Amino acid sequence: MCGIVGYVGPRAATEVVVGGLQRLEYRGYDSAGIAIYDPEQGLQLRRSVGKLSNLVQRLGQQPAIGHVGMGHTRWATHGNVTEENAHPHRDASGRVVVIQNGIVENYLELKSRLLEMGYHFQSQTDTEVIAHLVGHYYREEQALEPALRRALAELRGGNAVVAFCVDEPERLIVARLGNAGGVVIGTAPGETFVASDVPAILDYTREMVFLEDRELAVITRTGVTISTLSGAPVTRTPVNVPWDPVAAAKGDYKHFMQKEIHEQPRALMDILRGRIDQEAGQVQLEDLTLDDRALRRVERIYVTACGTAWHAGLMAKFMIESLARVRVEVDYASEFRYRGPILGDDALLLAITQSGETVDTLAAMEEARAQGVPSVAIVNAIGSQAARLADGGPIYLHAGPEIGVASTKAFTSMLAAAYLFALRLGQARGTLKPAQIREHLQAMVELPGKAATVIEQSLPICAELAERYHRASDALFLGRQANYPIALEGALKLKEISYIHAEGYPAGEMKHGPIALIDEDLPVVCIAPRDAIYEKMISNIEQVRARHGQVIAIGTTGDTLLATKADHVIEVPATLPLLQPILTVIPLQIFAYDMALRRGCDVDQPRNLAKSVTVE
Ligand code: G6P
C-alpha cells in the first residue's frame, strides 16, 4: 500500500519518478506527490489529491526540474484525502523531505512530544512525524544518515522511508523497518533507482537489490551502500530480474485487468516450463529446498493467504489432500497470526501471495519460523519478501507483473502452482505413481489451449450478460466442492470492481439463508461442470429457478441438460476435476470485467482498494 519511487542520476528526475509512480498506482491512488531538487530551483514539492493524472496535470502547469527526487502515491491510513496529507512531507526547516509506505504505530506519542518541543504540524499524517524527527536530529548531527537512524530508532510499526536533505543533494537515503513495505533498489551505470516494487524501475534496469528488514541504503549516482540500522555494513549482490518492461505496460489493451485475463493461457504454459518431465512422470520445482525426505516428514500443512490468494488456498487444500494425502488447514493470514496456532514438528506452512508483500501473510510466515516450522511460498513477485522468507523455497508463478488491482492471471497461476506442489508432494510420498503423475501432467499441458478457448467463447456471452444485468444490485455465486472457492472468487471479482453486492456460497448451503434473496431480479451464477457432484448442483439450480432467479451457468462443453435448466450457459472444456476451477473461473473474471465496464467503474483501480496490502 502506497508506492514510493526515488531517483538520483543524469535524467530528468520528474520523468523517472512520475513514470515509476504510474507503474505503482495500483498500490494506492488517494493522492500523489513528488519532491525534486535542483541547485538553482531548490526543493520543488508538487502534490495533488486523487489520481496521479491530477499530479501530472499540475506538473504541466508547474514543472519540477532536477536530477534527484522522490515521489509517492498514497493509500490513506492516517488523515483524510487532502493535499496537506499527501506525501512528501517536510520538516520544520523545509530542508528535509520524507515519504513513507507503512504505518508509524506510535505516531501519537511521538507527535505530542514534538508538539511539546514547539513543532507545528501541517498534516494529520503519521509520516510528518518522521520528517520532524529527522529534521530535529539533523540539527544535532548535521548529517542525514545519522539523523535518520536516530529517528528510525524511535518508530514502532512497519515502514519503508525515503529521506532527502537539501544540504546533501547528491543522495537519497532509504530504510526499511518490518514487513510493511518492500524496497527494491535498481542500479545502472551513473544512476540509481529506488521503488516499492520492481515494475516501477524496469524500464531502466534489471539489476536490483532488495532491502531487508532493518536495513538502510544510501543511494547516489554511483550506486548503493547498504548497512543494518545498527550500522553494520551489508554486502548484497544484485539479482537480475528477468521481467520484460513490456510485460508491465498495457499495450493495446484498454485495461491491465483485460490484458492479464488474456495472458492466462501463456501464464499457464510458463508455469510448467522446465518443471515437468512428462515421460518420466515427474515434477521438479527448482527453488524448493525441501527434498523427498523432508517432504515425507510433513503430516500437516497450514495454508495461509489473503484475498484472492486465500481462495487459491482453499483450492490447494483440495489438491494436496487428494493428491498427496496430507491434512491441510486453510487460514486467512490476518486470523492465523493472532489465533496462537499450534503448528507441531511435522508441519509445513504454505503461504500464497502474488505480491509477496502482504503484511499479514508475511507475519504468518514469521510465526511459522518462530515455531521452527519450514515454509514454502507460492509467489509471483521475484525477490519479494515472501520469496526470501520461505526457507523451504519459493515456488514462483512466473506470471509476469500483475498490475490490475483485481487479481486474474496470478489466481489461475496460483491454482496451477498449488497443483504442481501437490503432485511434487505426492511423488515424494509415494501417493502417486509416475503413470498417474503423467496423466495429471498431460491435463496440465492441455490447459493453456483450453483456457484460450474459454476466453474466446466467454467474450461475446459476457458482453451480452453485462448488457442485461449491469443494473443488478446483488448477485449470488454458487458452486460445490472444488468450485465452491470459485464461487467465492467470482463474487469477490464482481464486488471489488463493479461495486455490486455479491456473495459466494456453497450451493448446498443456499437453502440455509441466501435462498431468501432470490427473486426475478437476482442473477445467480451457478458453476456446474460435469463432475461427481453435478446432479446435486442441478438440483440446486432447480431450486433457484423455482424462485424465479436468473440462472447464469458455467458448464461443461456440450452439456445439453444444463442448457435446458439455465437462462444462460457459458461452456468450458472438460479437464480433471481439480484442474477444472482454472477454467471455470475465467468466465467469471470476464463477467466481472464487463459488468464493471458497463457500469462505468474504474476497472484497474477500484475505489478504496490497493493491490499490495502492506498495512494491517
Ligand atoms: C489485495 C488485492 C487482492 C489480493 C490480496 C492478497 O486485497 O486487492 O487482489 O488477492 O490483496 O494479495 P497477495 O499479493 O498477497 O496475493
Residue 48 maps to a domain: yes
Longest CA–CA span in the chain (Å) reads 80
Residues 391 and 471 grouped into a single domain: no
SS3 state at 540: helix
Residues 494 and 361 grouped into a single domain: no
Residue 223 maps to a domain: yes
- Give the residue from 558, 559, 587, 583 showing the smallest Cα distance to 446: 583
Check residue 36 and give its pLDDT. Answer: 98
Give me the mean pLDDT over the 115-120 stretch. Answer: 96
Check residue 27 and give its pLDDT. Answer: 79
How many angstroms separate the alpha carbon of residue 370 from the centre of ligand 1?
24
Residue 100 maps to a domain: yes
* CATH code for position 339: 3.40.50.10490
Q: Is the pLDDT of residue 245 over 70?
A: no
Tell me: the pLDDT tens digits for 487-525?
999 999 999 999 999 999 998 888 888 888 888 889 999
Residues 315 and 363 grouped into a single domain: yes
Cα–Cα distance list, 420 to 283, 362, 391, 413, 578 (Å) = 7, 22, 19, 10, 12
Q: Is the pLDDT of residue 247 over 80?
A: no
Q: Is the pLDDT of residue 1 over 80?
A: no
Lowest mean pLDDT among 292-306, 501-515, 572-586: 501-515
- b/e for 558-569, b at 16 or more Cβ within 10 A? ebeebeebbebb
Give me the mean pLDDT over the 482-491 stretch. Answer: 97
Residues 125 and 223 grouped into a single domain: yes
Q: Which of 111, 493, 565, 611 is catalytic?
A: 611
How many angstroms separate the alpha carbon of residue 511 from the centre of ligand 1?
31
* CATH code for position 79: 3.60.20.10
Residues 458 and 416 grouped into a single domain: no
Question: Residue 396: which domain range?
Answer: 285-432
User: Best of 2, 75, 308 to mutate for ligand 1, by most ligand atoms within 8 A of CB?
Assistant: 308
Tell me how crowded residue 228 is: count the other CB atoms within 10 A of its CB. 13
Q: Which three cell numbers stand for residue 233?
A: 555494513
Check residue 252 and give its pLDDT. Answer: 84
Check residue 267 and give its pLDDT. Answer: 95
Number of domains in the chain: 3
Q: Is the pLDDT of residue 614 over 70?
A: no
- Give the residue from 276, 316, 273 showing the smallest Cα distance to 414: 316
Ligand 1, atom 8: nearest CA belongs to which residue? 611
Check residue 437 and give its pLDDT. Answer: 97
Tell which of 221, 248, 275 closes a domain: 248
SS3 state at 98: strand
Residues 216 and 320 grouped into a single domain: no
Q: Is the pLDDT of residue 152 over 70?
A: yes
Residues with C-beta less than 6 Å from any ligand 1 atom? 306-309, 353-355, 358, 361, 405-407, 609, 611-613
Whether 2 sits among the annotated catalytic residues: the reply is yes
In the chain, pLDDT over 70 holds for what percent of residues? 98
Check residue 615 and give its pLDDT. Answer: 66
Residues 306 and 234 grouped into a single domain: no
Residue 380 maps to a domain: yes
Residues 391 and 485 grouped into a single domain: no
Tell me: the pLDDT tens digits for 128-138?
999 999 999 99
User: Best of 26, 197, 198, 358 to mutate for ligand 1, by most ligand atoms within 8 A of CB?
Assistant: 358
Q: Is the pLDDT of residue 242 over 80?
A: no
Label residue 246 by pLDDT band (50, 70, 90).
low
Residue 469 maps to a domain: yes
Residues 107 and 194 grouped into a single domain: yes
Residues 87 and 229 grouped into a single domain: yes
Q: Is the pLDDT of residue 7 over 90?
A: yes
Give me the mean pLDDT over the 460-471 stretch. Answer: 96
Residues 116 and 145 grouped into a single domain: yes
381 Cα nearest atom in ligand 1: 14
Residue 258 maps to a domain: no
Q: What is the mean pLDDT of the chain?
A: 93
How many angstroms separate the alpha carbon of residue 314 from the centre of ligand 1?
15
Whether 526 sits among the annotated catalytic residues: the reply is no
How many angstroms separate the alpha carbon of residue 280 from the centre of ligand 1?
36
Residue 445 maps to a domain: no
Check residue 181 and give its pLDDT. Answer: 72
Label residue 404 by pLDDT band (50, 70, 90).
confident
Residue 331 maps to a domain: yes
How many angstroms separate the alpha carbon of residue 362 from the centre of ligand 1?
13
Q: Is the pLDDT of residue 23 over 90?
A: no
User: Best of 29, 75, 306 to mutate for ligand 1, by most ligand atoms within 8 A of CB?
Assistant: 306
Residues 417 and 566 grouped into a single domain: no
